Structure 1
Amino acid sequence: MIERSRSERSAAGVVPSVRPRKLAKVPFVELADGRLQGVVSSGSDIARVYVSSFAAGSHNYNCSTNNNRLCGGLRGAPCKHLRALADEAVLQYGLDRVTRYLKVEAGPDDDLVGLMSGVHESAPAAVVFSRFLRHLAYLELPVTTAPIAEMHWFPATEAVR
């Protein structure tokens, strides 16, 4: 077997979470499409989830159910789902990466959401929710060491050095 150098491999290393997260409240968080976005569980209904997002730069925010019903907690300011999303993003990616992405200056003791002065702006929930469901589907696959065709582009499990 020929050993390939790192630059010749078709997979990239996975960057681990900055700190472990509990996935029950915010099962999905990502920095994508110019937004910090994710899926946040409802505090009152186990069957309901919210798709929440902050736009990078403008800091405009949105929170709605997966079928685009506006969150009742949006009353001229970010709701508790948006705050939970921001908190989990900092755990997942680290404060520096999140603040750089959102283009906001915040220190470790600052209220990140309080420093953003955006307003409510509708954002589609379907794309984010669809990616979340796709991630859940991978959890249901049987354990195997054989390659999975649709995941051939996923990063290798080797940690980045």
Structure 2
Amino acid sequence: MSDWERSSTARVIPPARPRKLAKVPFVELADGRLQGVVSSGSDIGRVYVSSVAAGTYAFACSTNNNRPCGGAHGSFCKHIAALIGEAVLQYGTERVVRYLKIEVPEGEADGATLTTVMRGTRPPADTTKAAASVFSRFLRHLAYLEHPPVTTPLPEMQFFPPTRAVA
């Protein structure tokens, strides 16, 4: 067992390339989807929770108030396209392609190509319910920005049981 596996911290994988967080502040590959939060271009107080399911490419996009995105009618809206582009920057093209199970011609994969290769379909009803949990995780990540930088453990992050008996 390596040192990081015995510690109470997880390895942080650096982004494939630096990215700006203003447009897409939160992106993750989780729960069988590429999902995240995308800022509105017209209203500073509005964000969109967008997702694309792995394999089926079923997509969902709605505001933080659960109102459907006006641009997501039968194809990806600009929020989903931005999410895909930022995922490529964060995780790298190969990892996004592998996770979403996209078949792309060799050497032709970038954010724009991935968007055109996937044929969007209207999401099943349960896909849109995931928006609440994605937005909740995003807010939880924002809360950690409020903590002062310290090297001591945060009590709410100590949910793992000890791996060896304490005497």
Query: Fold-level match, TM-score > 0.5?
Result: yes
Let me know the Cα RMSD of the aligned residues. 1.8
Query: After the TM superposition, which parts of structure 1 deviate over 6 Å for at least 4 consecutive aligned residues?
Result: none
- Stretches of structure 1 that go unaligned for 5 or more consecutive residues are 155-161
**Structure 1 length as normaliser, TM-score?**
0.86
| Other-structure match for 2:151 | 145
In structure 1, C-alpha distance between the alignment counterparts of 2:74 and 2:4, rounded to whole Å: 49
| Other-structure match for 1:112 | 114
In structure 2, C-alpha distance between the alignment counterparts of 1:23 and 1:6, rounded to whole Å: 28
Contact 2:74–2:120 (CA under 8 A) maintained in structure 1 = no
The higher relative CO (CA closer than 8 Å, separation ≥ 6) is in: 1
- Stretches of structure 2 that go unaligned for 5 or more consecutive residues are 161-167
The reply on whether 1:133 has 2:139 as its aligned counterpart is: yes
The alignment partner of 1:51 has SS state of strand
Flag the 1:145–1:5 CA change in 2: closer, same or farther, 3 A. Answer: closer
State the shift of 1:151 in Å. 2.1
In structure 1, C-alpha distance between the alignment counterparts of 2:101 and 2:113, rounded to whole Å: 15
Flag the 1:25–1:6 CA change in 2: closer, same or farther, 3 A. Answer: closer
Structure (1/2) with the larger helix percentage: 2
State the shift of 1:8 in Å. 3.4
- 1:72 is aligned, of 46, 70, 73, to 70
1:82 partner amino acid:
I
In structure 2, C-alpha distance between the alignment counterparts of 1:6 and 1:45, rounded to whole Å: 42
Contact 2:36–2:50 (CA under 8 A) maintained in structure 1 = yes
Residues 43-74 of structure 1, C-alpha deviation per residue, up to 9 Å, x if partnerless? 00010000000000100111100121100111
Contact 1:11–1:153 (CA under 8 A) maintained in structure 2 = no
Aligned residue pairs: how many? 151
| Other-structure match for 2:163 | none
In structure 2, C-alpha distance between the alignment counterparts of 1:53 and 1:117, rounded to whole Å: 14
Question: Percent identity at matched positions?
Answer: 64
1:116 partner amino acid:
M
